[in-house]
Amino acid sequence: MTQTLMPDVNRAGCPSRVILEHVTSRWGVLVLAALLERSYRFSELRRHVDGVSEKMLAQTLQALERDGFVLRDAQPVIPPRVDYSLTPLGEEAANLVAGLARWVEHKVPDVQAARAAYDGTKV
Amino acid sequence: MTQTLMPDVNRAGCPSRVILEHVTSRWGVLVLAALLERSYRFSELRRHVDGVSEKMLAQTLQALERDGFVLRDAQPVIPPRVDYSLTPLGEEAANLVAGLARWVEHKVPDVQAARAAYDGTKV
DNA sequence: CGGTATCCTTTACGATACTG
DNA sequence: CAGTATCGTAAAGGATACCG
């Protein structure tokens, strides 16, 4: 039996690392945070998460769906309609990353001040 | 006067996005989480965060230092000794990302079950 | 509408060698 | 020890075109 107990993000090759990277990926964070408010259709999400390409959005959603964070509901209508929402597991993840995102938004001035100080002493 | 109020991670070009990317970067997360426990020397950190290269560790630490999350204490001794620790701001960030990392470690089995189910229906 | 396929560019990253 | 510099590869990502 292989080592399945005690996942550790500090160990290279630990499955937890890949999951963490999905959740903290550039677009993964923003998608999860968006879906925390409400469910979105593909193109809605694409407009909401400014700058994401179709390709990356599809890729991000697939990874999150496969990991059990996102639920994909494709209705067999014409034109097609696909709704994305969070699973209970995804909601937990989304709360954590959305908390981080909101904290960052709130601390932008502090970071900019730190950068100004850093750049000042380093020139 | 330019738009400095209401940072929004959903808007491309918003400074909050770059900060968020530093904090959620592949190695940024692990470095912040490590420094939450205690301060580390460069090579200690390199061993602790398994798999990180010298280059990426240096680059990550510089970004985090410039953003005001990490404090770099270089003692003028031979051989050189440099200690890295968290600023108060960095401690807040680290608590959030470490919380996320611990949550992921805890949920590894759930994700693996979700993947098995997903891969099962998709083949 | 909600994607996929293809191509191409850019960035990330790692390995190695070197320096104060 | 704590980096920097250089190089090469691999992966990320964007643009466009196309399909069910």
Per-residue pLDDT tens for B28-79? 999 999 999 999 999 999 999 999 999 999 999 999 999 999 999 999 998 9
Does residue B122 carry a pLDDT above 80? Answer: no
What pLDDT shows up at residue A2? 52
Longest dimension (CA), chain B: 61
Q: Please check the confidence at residue B3 and state whether its pLDDT lies above 70.
A: no
Q: Is A36 helix (H, G, I), strand (E, B) or coil?
A: helix
pLDDT for res B5? 73
Interchain CB distance below 8 Å, B96 and A101? no
Cα separations in angstroms, B7 against A23, A34, B107: 21, 15, 31
**Among the partner residues B66, B68, B118, nearest to A110 by beta-carbon distance:** B68
The ranges of chain A with pLDDT < 70 are: 1-4, 123
The confidence score (pLDDT) of residue A48 equals 95
Q: Residue A104 is encoded by which pair of tokens?
A: 């960052």
The reply to whether A19 has its C-beta less than 7 Å from any atom of strand D is: no
Chain B CB contacts of A89 below 8 Å? 107, 110-111, 114
**For residue B56, how many other CB atoms are within 10 A of its CB?**
16
Q: What is the mean pLDDT of residues B93-102?
A: 97
A40, A84 Cβ separation under 8 angstroms = yes
- Tens of pLDDT, residue by residue over B7-26, are 999 999 899 999 999 999 99
Query: How many Å separate Cα B67 from the centre of its chain?
Result: 12
Contacts of A9 in chain B (CB under 8 A): 29-30, 33, 101, 104-105
DSSP letter (8 states) at residue A1: -
Q: What predicted TM-score, i.e. pTM, was given to this entire model?
A: 0.94
Query: How many beta-carbon contacts under 8 Å exist across A and B?
Result: 145
pLDDT at B4 over 80: no
**Interface contact A110-B97, CB threshold 8 A:** no
Token representation of residue A85? 């929402």
CB-based contact, B18 to chain A, within 8 Å: no
> Between B123 and A57, whose confidence is greater?
A57
Q: Supply the pLDDT for residue A5.
A: 73
**Which residue segments constitute the domains of chain A, with CATH numbers given?**
15-121 (1.10.10.10)
